[in-house]
Amino acid sequence: MALLSDLVNLNLSDSTEKVIVEYIWVGGSGMDLRSKARTISGPVDDPKKLPKWNYDGSSTGQAPGEDSEVIIYPQAIFKDPFRRGNNILVMCDCYTPAGEPIPTNKRHNAAKIFSHPDVAAEEPWYGIEQEYTLLQKDVKWPIGWPVGGFPGPQGPYYCAIGADKAFGRDIVDAHYKACLYAGINISGINGEVMPGQWEFQVGPAVGISAADELWVARYILERITEIAGVVLSFDPKPIQGDWNGAGAHTNYSTKSTRSEGGYGVIKKAIEKLGLRHKEHIAAYGEGNERRLTGRHETADINNFLWGVANRGASIRVGRDTEKEGKGYFEDRRPASNMDPYTVTSMIADTTILWKP
């Protein structure tokens, strides 16, 4: 008699050419991910060859009940680390039946910015550092913390090892390998300053692919935490008090910043970002004011400052970039719950297209 695990792990290619496609989209909160699966006749490697689909937007907070159909357009394909074989995950964005992007579709506007000839010519690269917190399922308190109580103060937990300092490593490593399997350009992981908090990095990736990859990496992580019976939180300040918040530091470079004389281009880009500080903060994630306090490796939300190797700045430039006179810089303002389509495209828009 087959066990449930045997059936879950069936290799479909032994008996059929049919493929399962998991369609993924962003839900009504702008942060919740939704997905559903359908069968297609054979392997596909081009999202344009996949059929559009639809879902009940009234059940996701994205459409009224009397006109509830939302159409999802396949945009980026990844290998499915859960079903494996030829089965795939596909990141989609959402439209009305008339073909208009719905309000929570941030990809549509980002694609316009990244397809602008001036932006495309600069080949913007992104590396996004996604921090997150793992919570105990029934009490919504970080894993490894005593229920209703607190661990020892921060200091021993960052990049730590040991059963009394590192909590949830099996989830983190499963996610790391699953992302590599899927074809996501995940470049590393580490334990964070607050116990129960971790980080993974996606990139360098070019243009809109950085945001597609980050959303699918988030999807894979939440599926893994579902299996593990743990709750995933992207709250930018999950625990009040003397505990680090969670961000999504966004590293950025262009062809001009990576070329000779690039440090001067970086300084001009940072100056433009400072002029639009309020607009960026407004788009960089809900609840970010609880995180950007001027403490715990952040700059105050109301102030814009940059510096070399300064983790208390809004924008940090690395020592290597300063020394070589070219390279990249890090925008430390985005919260962990930011929309990567919004953040990556806004940085490109401000630094390349916007004229003060």
Tell me: pLDDT of 310 over 90. Answer: no
- What confidence tens digit (pLDDT) does each residue in 72-89 have? 999 999 999 999 999 999
Tell me: pLDDT of 209 over 90. Answer: yes
Q: What is the pLDDT at residue 356? A: 82
- What confidence tens digit (pLDDT) does each residue in 9-67 have? 888 888 999 999 999 999 999 999 999 999 999 999 999 999 999 999 999 999 988 88
**What is the average pLDDT across 160-171?**
97
Which residues, 6 or more positions from 60, have their beta carbon under 8 angstroms from its beta carbon? 27, 28, 32, 34, 70
DSSP letter at 73 equals E
* Residue 238 confidence class, pLDDT cut points 50, 70, 90: very high
Using CA of residue 6, residue 7, residue 8, residue 11, what is the dihedral sign?
A: positive
* Residue 297 confidence class, pLDDT cut points 50, 70, 90: confident
Burial class (CB in 10 A: 0-12, 13-18, 19+), 9: exposed
Provide the residue type at 3 as one letter.
Answer: L
Domain ranges in the chain?
A: 4-104, 117-353
Architecture of domain 4-104: Roll (3.10)
Architecture of domain 117-353: 2-Layer Sandwich (3.30)
Tell me: pLDDT of 296 over 90. Answer: no
